[in-house]
Amino acid sequence: MTLQNRSFFAIFGIALASAGALGLALVAQYGFDLWPCTICYWQRVPYGLTLALAVLAMMPVVDGPSRRMIVLLCAGLFLLNAGIALYHTGVEERWWQGPTACAGKPQELSPTDLLAALNQPGRTSCEDAAFRFLGLSMAGYNIIACLVLAFGSWMATRRDAWWK
């Protein structure tokens, strides 16, 4: 394997991990009926951005230094996502209050608003973890995954020979 191929595989790994995370979220949502809350949707955005950036970086017209910058940007997006997931974990553990847009908070509704709300699909509260495994919620596992991906992406950018 040549050094230039290693840069391609680093970018491909970012794309694969991002697509896998988004796919896992959709399987949990539609396959296991674990409906996301507002913050869960926020956590999907950085994965979508890193997937799009990685796909763009794999195009042959993109030179090595530009690919390196894209991988560094992806590392930053993974760190951002780890921060969002940490915030979400804090809301689930009730260390701090979640956004007011999250469902599950009492609201004053007029009878007309109440009838309109009954016709809307239900929303999941940000304070209630939809699933826990070994004591961690999906947001907790997302923190770990994003930190690993950020570190791996950052380490890949430090390999000068890969990006020439």
Residue 53 placed within a domain: yes
Domain of residue 56, residue span: 3-98+125-163
* Domain total of the chain: 1
Q: What is the pLDDT of residue 115?
A: 61
Q: Which CATH number fits the domain that encloses residue 70?
A: 1.20.1550
| pLDDT tens, residue by residue, 84-138 | 999 989 888 888 877 776 654 445 656 676 566 555 555 567 777 777 788 788 8
147: its two tokens: 């930190």
For the residues of 9-76, what is the DSSP string, one character each?
Answer: HHHHHHHHHHHHHHHHHHIIIIIS-----HHHHHHHHHHHHHHHHHHHHTSTTS-HHHHHHHHHHHHH
47 versus 35: the higher-pLDDT residue is: 47
Residue 136 placed within a domain: yes
Q: What is the dihedral of CA 147, 15, 154, 140, to 10 degrees?
A: 0
Closest to 153 (Cα-Cα) out of 80, 61, 60 = 80
pTM: 0.81
For the residues of 81-149, what is the DSSP string, one character each?
Answer: HHHHHHHHHHHHTTSS---TTSBTS-----HHHHHHHHTSPP--BTTS-S-EETTEEHHHHHHHHHHHH
Residue 92 placed within a domain: yes
Residue 32 placed within a domain: yes
Residue 103 placed within a domain: no
Residue 110 placed within a domain: no
